[in-house]
Amino acid sequence: MKNGFTLKVVPLDRVTPHEEVDPARVDRLVSRLDEAGVLLNPPVVTPASDHYVLLDGATRTEALRRRGFRDTVVQVVASGDLELRTWRHVIRGVDVDDLRRELKAVDGVELRPLVERGVARVYFVTGEPASVHPAPGVSPHAALSAFVACYLRVGRVSRSTRPDPAASAAIYPDMAALVSFSHLSLDEVTAAAEGGDRLPAGITRFVIPGRVLRLGVPLRLLADDIPLDEKQAELDRLVEDRARNGRIRHYTEPVFVLDE
């Protein structure tokens, strides 16, 4: 960790996701991986008992699995260094009335007046907002997964940090609704990973000081059937070469990334 971060080559079967993936995003990333030939940004994990809980990078990890890779490069962070927030989902490209009808019909989910606190809130661009609740006997994570899967099927989703529905509508003219999720704890995320009761795709947003970006690990390093320690040594040499040539920069100020 002499550069202020920890990068490791680990087997993919020791990386446990806490959330589902959006199949469309995985499809797009598989194509980009094939074109680029590199893993640009390493997934972020935190250690558990005999594995790693995947905090960020579920799409990248699933794309690597789909392409048949055995290993991946991860950035390992301690749980105490993390801040957990949630994304908001902007549902786009679907008629508001059709969306409301589809969401009301989701099995295991109940839409109630907004005065009640639920697992999420949905603000339609027209009509009354609603609070999202699991039906009796349904776990909160299962209800959320069914709810999110519904609008992923009928519309497009953009992630946002803006809490105001009007502000999001001004940015996305085709917005039908904004979904805001209830607060989650790191313990809930870990339990979702270890118990298999995963959260829906694209809800959790981890603020990670010292996040490693634009590493650009050659995919051949992950594909080669060689021992992990040899792969780790090559990864270490890659990072040391970047440091020696002054190519590592630490930015402390917030930034806008325009090509994600």
For 1-35, write each residue's pLDDT tens digit. Answer: 567 899 999 999 999 998 888 888 899 999 998 88
Q: What range does the domain containing 71 cover? A: 7-82+208-244
Going 149 to 154 to 160 to 166, the CA torsion angle's sign is negative
Q: Which of 39, 40, 91 is nearest to 202 (CA)?
A: 91
Angle between helices 96-104 and 140-154 (to 10 degrees): 150
Do residue 150 and residue 61 come from a single domain? no
- Is 254 part of any domain? no
CB 231 within 8 A of CB 224: yes
Do residue 182 and residue 97 come from a single domain? yes
Q: Which of 224, 209, 237, 213 is nearest to 40 (CA)?
A: 213
- At 59 the pLDDT is 93
Do residue 52 and residue 21 come from a single domain? yes
- Indicate which CATH number applies to the domain containing 123: 3.30.1760.10
**Alpha-carbon gap, residue 121 to 131, rounded angstroms:** 5
Domain count, the chain: 2
Chain segment 181-237, per-residue pLDDT in tens = 998 888 888 888 887 778 888 899 988 888 999 999 999 999 878 899 999 999 999
- At 69 the pLDDT is 94
Do residue 111 and residue 189 come from a single domain? yes
The structure's pTM equals 0.82
**Average confidence (pLDDT) over 227-252:** 91
- At 1 the pLDDT is 57
**pLDDT averaged over every residue in the chain:** 91
Do residue 155 and residue 97 come from a single domain? yes
- Is 148 part of any domain? yes
- Is 42 part of any domain? yes
- Is 259 part of any domain? no
Provide the pLDDT confidence category of residue 254 given band limits of 50, 70 and 90: confident
- At 259 the pLDDT is 67
